[in-house]
Amino acid sequence: MMNVSIKFKLILFVFLIVFFRYSYAEKLTFNINHNVINKAIIDTENKRNVIELYHNNNLITKIPSFDEDGGNRFERLLTRYDENNLIRVITSFPDRGYFKIYYDIGLDKNTNLNMLNKVSYETQEWSSNGKFTVKYCYSHIKINLDSFFNNDELFGEVRPTFDGWKNGKEKGHCVKGNIKINYENAYNLVMKSYLFNNPNMNKQTKMYLIKGDVVHLLTKNNEFYHIEYTTSKNKIIKKWLHCSAIDACIY
């Protein structure tokens, strides 16, 4: 009876070792609805700093996850609408309050290299007097993704802190307001563009947005996007915008 008990405990001990070993080595798989990429995998135990991108189970490339120990951790991926801007990597650090960083990755068709095209971040704060403030800042850059692997110094240059880039001095452009807005799906206009009542070139209004304005994409209809724009007076406008306004046309 004693031998049976010892054997059972030994088997149980081995099982627990195997179970916990593989339960911590978790691979997160994301199914992505996109023409170029339809699956992404990150190994949260062994290669947390790398995301593998696949098309029909064929590995296309590897990109940084922008995950940092003791700081913002990888949260999820967001699909972009156009093929030039393939994906947005989102990191967050809930212990610091609401602080999210967005890394936009695109394909440079001239060099056929994946590039980090834009870094932006969003903060939300309550002050002691009860005032709520949201801030969204973005900076357009163009760095080859291969440059980031094994280069922590370069990571430090592009990663913003809660107060901005480079020792608290913000570079780029910022949008501030007092209404809770989720900027995960925020896009910047690349040119002055008129708004439309319907997804039709004949339905143009007298309203327009200028280069740098931030919009949210709600839905897509051929070459038009249904967008939401918040004015400086916190008025919300929902209209249609041509794809050329955010450089998202596919021809």
pLDDT digits (tens, 9 = 90+) for 163-193: 787 655 556 678 877 777 778 877 888 789 9
Q: How far apart are CA 100 and CA 175, in angstroms?
A: 15
pLDDT at 238 over 90: yes
Q: Is the dihedral of CA 179, 182, 183, 186 positive or negative?
A: negative
Which residues are paired to 162 by β-bridges? none
pLDDT of 196:
96
Share of the chain above pLDDT 70, in %: 79
Instruction: Enumerate the domain spans of the chain.
Output: 2-187, 189-246
Instruction: Tell me the two tokens of residue 149.
Output: 């692997």
Cβ–Cβ under 8 Å, residues 31 and 10:
no
Residue 95 scores a pLDDT above 80 = no
pLDDT for residue 152: 79
Q: Average pLDDT over the chain, rounded to whole?
A: 78
Instruction: Name the pairing type of β-strands 204-209 and 214-221.
Output: unpaired
Here the tokens at position 79 are 């699909």
Contact present, 237 and 208 (Cβ < 8 Å): no
Q: Which residue has the higher pLDDT, 35 or 136?
A: 136
Averaged over 225-233, what is the pLDDT? 87
Q: How confident is the model at residue 8 (pLDDT cuts 50, 70, 90)?
A: very low
Q: 32 and 14 in contact (C-beta within 8 Å)?
A: no
**CA–CA separation, 17 and 224 (whole Å):** 55
CA distance linking residue 103 with residue 97, whole number of Å = 19
CA–CA separation, 98 and 124 (whole Å): 5
Class of domain 189-246: mainly beta
Digit-coded pLDDT (tens) for 198-218: 999 999 999 999 988 888 888
